[in-house]
C-alpha cells in the first residue's frame, strides 16, 4: 500500500505539471514501411491499469536495495534504443539471451560485463504476465523503468509514451557499432546521435544521465594518463590513479559523479567544469567543442533547464524505431521470443 501511495504522489505531480498543457492522446507518430507507428500515453489504462504501479513498485524496491540500480535501469533503455534505431530501436532487443542458434546483444563490447538489472525486468514482467497476460511489452517496461529510476533519484518526471512491440531478433554488430563509447570525441558523439535521429542538444542533455552510476577503470584509462592541460584536475586524477592501480584495477569501479552519485541532478555538468569528468567522452564536452561547453555551462547554472531538456530528449529517444501494429510481438518472457 505504501508503494502504491508513493506512485500515486508521483502521478499527481505529473498531472499538476501538465494541467495547463493540452495533451493529445497520440504523442508520436511516424511511418515505417507504410505501417503507422503510434505511441500513446495511458495506453494500458483499461487493458492493464495496474501496469505502472507494478513497475514503479519493483523499481522502488530495487533502488532502495541498491542505489546504483537506478543508473543501471536507465542505461538499459539507452542501450536498447541506440541499436538500429532508425528501423528498430526501442524494442527490448537488448534483453534477449543468446541461444544455440541465436546471438543477442548482451555480449557486444558496450554491454558485456557492463549492463545489469535484467533480473528486475524479469520480476516486473513475471508479475505483469500474471495480472495482464500478453499485454505490456518488454520495450514499454524498459521505457517506464527508465523514467521511474530518474524520479526515484530526485530527477524530473514525464508521461511515458506506450505502445511499443518487442523485437523478434537482435543485432550484436549494431550494438557494437552504434552505441557511443567512453573514449568518443565530440564529433563522434554528435555523429552517432544524429545517425539515430537525435540532435546536438539531445546528446549533451542525455549525457547528463552520467550524474548517476559507476564505470570500470578500464573504460577511462586514457584519463589516467593526463598530467597537464587546462582541464586537468590533479587531485581528481591522482585519486583515480590510486583506485585503479590495484591488482584488480581494470575491474574496479569509480563513481561517474563523486559529489552526489545516487542523485539525479546537474552536478555532472558542474564536475565537468572542474575537470572531474570520469570518462574521456564526458570531459570532452568541455574541452573539445565551444558549443558543447556552452550547453554544459547553461546546465551547470540552471538545473531546471537541464531537467526540462533531459525529459524532452528522453521522450524523443524513447520513440526511436518503435515497432507497433503487425511488427514485433509482446513477449511473455523478455529473454526469449515467443
Q: Round to whole Å and give the CA distance between 283 and 278.
A: 7
Q: Round to whole Å and give the CA distance between 139 and 299.
A: 30
Whether 281 contacts 158, CB under 8 Å = no
Annotated catalytic residue 210: no
Whether 224 contacts 244, CB under 8 Å = yes
Q: Round to whole Å and give the CA distance between 80 and 91.
A: 7
What are residue 135's phi and psi, to 5 degrees? -120, -50
Strands (E), 128-243: 214-216
Whether 143 contacts 132, CB under 8 Å = no
> Given CA atoms 66, 71, 76, 79 in this order, what sign does their dihedral have?
negative
Quickly count: other Cβ atoms within 10 Å of residue 227's Cβ.
8
**Angle at Cα 51 formed by Cα 331 and Cα 113, nearest 5°?**
55
Question: Which residue carries 565537468 as its cell?
Answer: 272
Query: What distance lies between CA 209 and its chain's CA centroid?
Result: 7
Which residues are CB-neighbours of 69 under 8 A, at least 6 positions away? Answer: 62, 63, 116, 117, 120, 149
Question: Which residue carries 546504483 as its cell?
Answer: 68
Whether 304 contacts 71, CB under 8 Å = no
Catalytic residue (choose from 77, 79, 210, 255):
79
- Annotated active-site positions, please? 79
Amino acid at each position: 500500500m505504501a508503494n502504491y501511495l508513493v506512485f500515486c504522489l508521483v502521478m499527481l505531480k505529473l498531472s499538476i505539471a501538465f494541467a495547463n498543457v493540452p495533451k493529445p492522446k497520440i504523442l508520436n507518430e511516424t511511418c515505417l514501411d507504410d505501417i503507422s507507428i503510434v505511441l500513446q500515453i495511458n495506453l494500458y489504462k483499461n487493458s492493464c491499469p495496474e501496469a505502472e504501479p507494478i513497475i514503479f513498485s519493483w523499481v522502488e524496491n530495487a533502488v532502495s536495495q541498491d542505489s546504483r540500480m537506478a543508473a543501471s535501469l536507465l542505461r538499459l533503455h539507452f542501450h536498447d534504443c541506440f541499436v538500429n534505431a532508425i528501423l528498430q530501436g526501442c524494442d527490448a532487443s537488448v534483453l534477449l539471451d543468446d541461444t544455440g542458434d541465436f546471438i543477442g546483444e548482451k555480449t557486444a563490447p558496450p554491454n558485456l560485463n557492463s549492463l545489469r538489472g535484467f533480473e528486475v525486468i524479469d520480476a516486473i514482467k513475471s508479475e505483469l504476465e500474471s495480472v495482464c497476460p500478453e499485454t505490456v511489452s518488454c520495450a514499454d517496461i524498459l521505457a517506464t523503468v527508465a523514467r521511474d529510476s530518474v524520479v526515484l533519484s530526485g530527477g524530473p518526471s514525464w508521461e511515458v509514451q506506450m505502445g511499443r512491440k518487442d523485437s523478434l531478433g537482435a543485432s550484436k554488430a549494431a550494438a557494437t557499432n552504434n552505441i557511443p563509447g567512453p573514449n568518443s570525441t565530440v564529433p563522434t558523439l554528435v555523429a552517432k546521435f544524429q545517425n539515430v535521429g537525435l540532435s546536438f542538444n539531445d546528446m549533451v542533455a542525455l549525457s547528463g544521465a552520467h550524474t548517476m552510476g559507476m564505470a570500470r577503470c578500464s573504460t577511462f584509462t586514457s584519463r589516467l594518463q593526463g598530467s597537464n592541460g587546462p582541464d586537468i584536475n590533479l587531485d581528481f586524477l591522482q585519486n583515480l590513479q590510486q583506485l585503479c592501480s590495484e591488482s584488480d584495477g581494470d575491474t574496479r569501479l569509480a563513481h561517474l559523479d563523486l559529489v552526489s552519485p545516487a542523485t539525479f541532478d546537474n552536478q555532472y555538468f558542474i564536475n565537468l567544469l572542474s575537470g572531474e569528468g570520469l570518462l574521456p567522452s564526458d570531459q570532452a564536452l568541455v574541452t573539445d567543442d565551444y558549443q558543447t561547453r556552452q550547453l554544459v555551462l547553461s546546465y551547470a547554472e540552471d538545473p531546471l533547464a537541464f531537467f526540462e531538456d533531459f525529459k524532452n530528449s528522453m521522450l524523443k529517444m524513447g520513440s526511436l524505431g518503435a515497432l507497433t501494429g503487425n511488427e514485433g510481438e509482446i513477449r511473455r518472457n523478455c529473454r526469449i521470443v515467443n
